[in-house]
Structure 1
Amino acid sequence: MPDLFFMKKGHEEINLTARLPAVELLEVNTGAPQLNPTYTGIAGSDGQLLQSVAFNSSTFTVSLLIKGNSRSDFNLIKSELQKELYARVPIRLRSSFEPAKAVWVVANPTEIAPLSNSDQGMVNFAFTVISGMRTTPFRSDELNSNKELLTVGMGLPDMDNLPEYRFYSQEFDVFNPSDVEIDPYIQHHDLVITFKGKARGILVENTTNGTSFKINPDQVQTGEHSWKVKPVLEQGDVVTMDGITLFKNGDCGDVRTDFGHLVLAKGNNHIKLTGLTDVDVTFSFPFLYF
């Protein structure tokens, strides 16, 4: 029997169908991507110029069969479903049909009523997918510990030889199997890059698409007229690029940058590091799918 997994933001995931045995999952349906193009018209010219395309929130429908033993039993199950699925915070849903693709949603008003002269009923629970996309319930650096969830159609070319996301050299490839590029600036996608090692300054380049950012060394005043360069990374330090914000040992504002950022193209991304030795770098992000 298929399972429906449910998680409120900030809580542990639960198997909703196992918790409510009288509720049977029949089907899930992901709505079509909702494109929102922006155009600019030019006076005297035919048509318009396409400026950008965003993906709006989409829909997700869960078909459930409620099998009550009595009308009061049916109403109790209805109450339990409403208590779990209607919340003031986003909830994450995924099913055993595609266990590695989840959606963050908000429930839409849905009537739950039994069939005529029956204590059973089928309901098509409708949800709004906040980001308009599905996401893996794990991050890229957790991929190898979630092999049992993987299915065909996730953009991974070899299920027996999964890509790595922790690197120990100055040049390496980061594989993005998503349906879209990962852009933490324009699209606010979740991308966390962690650096360990030794460096006065670091230049990080994605030679595949030309995006980059530079972490500059800071100058520390040692006397009235004397300064010294403070390295970006020393033994035991950790620098993290969380989206477009840099942290050093958990503190924001202690790192100088050129205000650049990386974008991960679909597929392989060749990354080049300059200035970092004793390299230990991790790329952590969820995969995104329509």
Structure 2
Amino acid sequence: MEKLYLKIGNQDEFDICEKVQGLHFLSDDSTPVTTNQFLEISGADGSQFQYATFGKYQVVANFFLEFKSWEDYKLAKHQINRIFSTKKLIRMRTNVESAIVRYVYPNFPEIKPISDGANSSTFSVNFDNPSGYRYSIDRSDELSKVQYGMYLLDNIYPEYRFTDKSFRVYNPSDIAIDPYLGKHDLKIISKFSGNSLKITNTTNGTSWSYNKSSNGSETVLLDGIVTTVNGNPATVNTDYGHIVLNTGWNDIVVSGTNSNDITFSFPFIYI
């Protein structure tokens, strides 16, 4: 039996069918959306492709509701609408894809008996997925749950914390992790001793530099394109660079340090 788990805001995750008597989750389905942009040139035939973006799409969740009386039906309908009356972002996942989540907003379903006098109803809830993505439930540095389709090298957990001057970071996502153009979540957490810290992804040429010295006690955080030191703003002390992670393996080189401890923390992104 399939199960649908929801997490509303900071609340604990719950099985929706345990909140509504007689409710059964049947299935979910969705189709990713891409938007292709073209350039029209006056006097020229056809169009020139410019770029493609992933757009928001709907996730359709199908349910079956059984009830013994009209009162039970009205109560169950109210309970369902009450759950979906939230204006907060909802994390949803199923037991079929237990390690992958979507972040969605619900729309109220139309619920009615399958026929006059019937004691059951089938209905669907359409969830809007504004990001157009699916994500791993865990971040790379906290990975505890995996499933099929996550492309994790036969379920071998890669390392995401490093103390060497050169190492490899694995991105099993369907797309590159780009905190600048894609606004993707990528945190690089560093402690180092030395005059400066430069991190270069030699696979794609992206790099970021922190240009002040440290004795190894400070936590330097590159959160996307913003840098902080021990929680205080420090982007002004950088070269305003950022790191992009290609899909698959990325070769990383660290320079300017005597020693370093670096963690790459990000959720895997799937289409």
What CA deviation, in whole Å up to 9, does each residue of 1:21-65 have, x standing for no partner?
5211111112x2211122223344443332221111011011111
Runs of 4+ aligned residues of structure 1 deviating over 4 Å after TM superposition are: none
Q: Could you tell me which residue of structure 1 aligns to residue 245 of structure 2?
A: 264
Which letter does structure 2 place at the counterpart of 1:33?
Answer: P
Q: Could you tell me which residue of structure 1 aligns to residue 269 of structure 2?
A: 288
Q: Could you tell me which residue of structure 1 aligns to residue 102 of structure 2?
A: 103
Per residue, is there more strand in 1 or in 2?
A: 2
Q: Is the 8 A contact 2:164 2:260 kept in 1?
A: yes
Decide whether aligned partners of structure 1 residues 155 and 19 sit closer, same or farther in structure 2, where only a CA change above 3 A counts. same
Q: Could you tell me which residue of structure 2 aligns to residue 240 of structure 1?
A: 221
Gap regions ≥5 residues in structure 1: 218-230
How many Å separate the matches in 1 of 2:151 and 2:244? Answer: 18
Q: Could you tell me which residue of structure 2 aligns to residue 123 of structure 1?
A: 123
Pair 1:36-2:35 in alignment? yes
Q: Could you tell me which residue of structure 1 aligns to residue 151 of structure 2?
A: 155
What CA deviation, in whole Å up to 9, does each residue of 1:124-178 have, x standing for no partner?
11111110111112111111x22xxx2211111221x211111121111111111
Which letter does structure 1 place at the counterpart of 2:131?
Answer: S
How many Å separate the matches in 1 of 2:163 and 2:149? Answer: 30
How many Å separate the matches in 1 of 2:194 and 2:111? Answer: 60
Deviation, 1:11, is 2.4
Q: Is the 8 A contact 1:58 1:133 kept in 2?
A: no
What CA deviation, in whole Å up to 9, does each residue of 1:206-235 have, x standing for no partner?
111111111112xxxxxxxxxxxxx1x223
Deviation, 1:274, is 0.6
How many Å separate the matches in 1 of 2:248 and 2:207? Answer: 17
Which letter does structure 2 place at the counterpart of 1:182?
Answer: I
TM alignment of 1:78-117, pairs within 5 A: 78-116=77-115, 117=117
Deviation, 1:254, is 6.3
User: Partner of 1:83: helix, strand, or coil?
Assistant: helix
Q: Could you tell me which residue of structure 2 aligns to residue 134 of structure 1?
A: 134
Which letter does structure 1 place at the counterpart of 2:107?
Answer: N
Q: Is the 8 A contact 1:199 1:234 kept in 2?
A: yes
How many Å separate the matches in 1 of 2:7 and 2:45? Answer: 50
Deviation, 1:263, is 0.8
How many Å separate the matches in 1 of 2:236 and 2:72? Answer: 59
Q: Is the 8 A contact 2:226 2:235 kept in 1?
A: no
The two structures have a TM-score, normalised by structure 1, of 0.88
Of the candidates 190, 201, 205, which is equivalent to residue 210 of structure 1? 205
User: Partner of 1:75: helix, strand, or coil?
Assistant: helix
How many Å separate the matches in 1 of 2:198 and 2:76? Answer: 57
Most deviating of 71-80 and 235-244: 71-80
The two structures have a TM-score, normalised by structure 2, of 0.94
Q: Is the 8 A contact 1:86 1:106 kept in 2?
A: no
Q: Percent identity?
A: 34
How many Å separate the matches in 1 of 2:245 and 2:6? Answer: 29
How many Å separate the matches in 1 of 2:171 and 2:249? Answer: 6
Q: Could you tell me which residue of structure 1 aligns to residue 258 of structure 2?
A: 277
How many Å separate the matches in 1 of 2:92 and 2:175? Answer: 21
What CA deviation, in whole Å up to 9, does each residue of 1:69-125 have, x standing for no partner?
222112212211221123212111110011111111111242011221122211111
C-alpha root-mean-square deviation of aligned residues, in Å? Answer: 1.6
Q: Could you tell me which residue of structure 2 aligns to residue 25 of structure 1?
A: 25
Decide whether aligned partners of structure 1 residues 216 and 42 sit closer, same or farther in structure 2, where only a CA change above 3 A counts. farther
Deviation, 1:12, is 2.2
